[in-house]
Amino acid sequence: MITLGTASAAPGEMDVGRLEVGESRDGGSVGLPVAVINGASSGKTLYMQAASDGDELNGVGVIQRVVPQIDPAELSGAILVVGIVNYHAFQVAQHRNPIDDTKMNRAYPGDERGTSSERIAATTFQAARRADLILDLHQGSTSRMIDEVRVRCGRHHRMHAKCLRLAKTFGCGYVLDQKGPDGQLARAGPDAGIPTIDPELGGCVGWDEESIRKGVEGVHNVLRGYGFVDGDVELQAQTRARGFDQYGSPAGGLVRFKRDLGEKVSSGDVLFEVTDVFGQLKARVTADHAGIFWRTRRLPQVASGEYVCSVGIDIDTY
């Protein structure tokens, strides 16, 4: 029998329930939706979670679609799922937890006696530490971004090669291989000896079916590639960036992009222009280095100095 919160499944079974993480302002219990899929035969354990940032819904879409596709009778090992991590932010469709104004993916490994976010992080990390592999499903918030997977432990970490292999198995096509900020699950997991990746499934308002499809395919790739289910995975070369050049607007106005997401750029290529309301050119911004046009703001209006776009740099394949 495998239990997570109130979900409990015997071999060959699946169950759903709630994982208590604290109380709301009216004193009621706050429970995260969880699932346990206990395979009919023994094997590894996979932990998956989504929506640690409350407006990043593509991961929830992946879980909504992929969980019903998994047959416990054909599964070796177990899958632990937390469908929505940032409960309070999800309820109000915000990025940060409104109870403590914290970005949840900066709170790991958490603190059982800390802030709301730290307590949720501590409880979910306790579940994640039971696993052999961790998938922390994200998206580029509500901005526009390519579908990619992030390896955040850093190139000198003892788990780096295993995290890269997990990212290649997931197989979105693009990988950011750059040490992440303190408090990310994709940092805390490898520190605990568990290969962990942070799939960033595009970026949108609400969710995007194509990004969700790639996420579902990625989960199935992991299930096959690590022996949870029968089948082979043909590993594909991934385009890897080791960092970003980020560009702000030199003037206020309206942005007109000159490159498409995923497009290769060379040093000196025009990335975007800024015009006034009447279409008169105010500024033109060019790439500092060669790379991949990776991410952009969604709305066209900008103030001077406001973020506009990112180019992935130091590109190779692996």
Give pLDDT tens digits for 35-90: 999 999 999 999 999 999 999 999 999 999 999 999 999 999 999 999 999 999 99
Give, to the nearest 10 degrees, the angle between helix 58-66 and helix 209-225.
50
Burial class, 181, CB count within 10 angstroms (exposed 0-12 / middle 13-18 / buried 19+): exposed
Q: What is the pLDDT of residue 174?
A: 98
Q: What is the dihedral of CA 137, 143, 147, 148, to 10 degrees?
A: -70
Give me the amino acid identity at 89: A
CATH topology of domain 1-224: Aminopeptidase (3.40.630)
* Mean confidence (pLDDT) of the chain: 97
pTM: 0.96
- Non-local CB neighbours of 280 within 8 Å, separated by 6+ positions: none
Give me the amino acid identity at 68: P
d(CA 60, CA 193): 26
Mean pLDDT of 241-264: 98
Q: What is the pLDDT of residue 20?
A: 98
- Non-local CB neighbours of 73 within 8 Å, separated by 6+ positions: 12, 40
If one counts every other C-beta atom within 10 angstroms of the C-beta of residue 73, the result is: 11
Q: What is the pLDDT of residue 142?
A: 93
If one counts every other C-beta atom within 10 angstroms of the C-beta of residue 209, the result is: 11
CATH topology of domain 243-312: OB fold (Dihydrolipoamide Acetyltransferase, E2P) (2.40.50)
H or E element at residue 13:
strand 13-23
Q: What is the pLDDT of residue 107?
A: 97
| pLDDT > 70 in the chain, percent | 100
In Å, the largest CA–CA distance within the chain is 67
Mean pLDDT of 267-281: 98
Write down the domain spans for the chain: 1-224, 243-312
d(CA 120, CA 128): 12
